[in-house]
Amino acid sequence: MEHFLHPWAQFGIVGVFCGSIIFILWRMIVWVMAFVKDTIEQHNKERATWMQQFTEVGNMLNKVCTSFDKHDERAEERGRYVREDHKEFQKQITEVTNVLGRLNGYKDATH
């Protein structure tokens, strides 16, 4: 065992103290690197979860937008039908007004 310690004997107690500090720092660095590695893995898992949730929310928003577009198309179709129906109704009212005007003695149906 003296053969193993012989190269270190020249440093004395200061060498032992410095060697101990360096060993402790090395162990701390290894521990911190392992901690950072675990933390990075946890962050990656969390990011994957968030990305999945964002994707689901995006899909839901796309469905809502598609529903709005379909609703607008149907509303335009209903509006077109109502406008055509109102035009017919206005024609009928004009005819009835003309007939009633003539019955009441008006010569010009526009009053």
Note down pLDDT in tens along the chain; length 111 residues: 566 666 667 778 888 888 899 999 999 999 999 999 999 999 999 999 999 999 999 999 999 999 999 999 998 888 888 888 888 888 888 887 877 777 666 666 454
Alpha-carbon distance of 22 to 29, in angstroms, equals 10
Question: Does 76 map to a domain?
Answer: yes
Question: Does 52 map to a domain?
Answer: yes
Question: Does 4 map to a domain?
Answer: no
Question: Does 42 map to a domain?
Answer: yes
Q: How many separate domains does the chain show?
A: 1
| Predicted TM-score (pTM) of this structure | 0.49
Closest to 99 measured CA to CA, from 84, 85, 91, 86: 91
Domain that holds residue 79: 15-101
pLDDT on residue 7: 67
Question: Does 53 map to a domain?
Answer: yes
Question: Does 5 map to a domain?
Answer: no
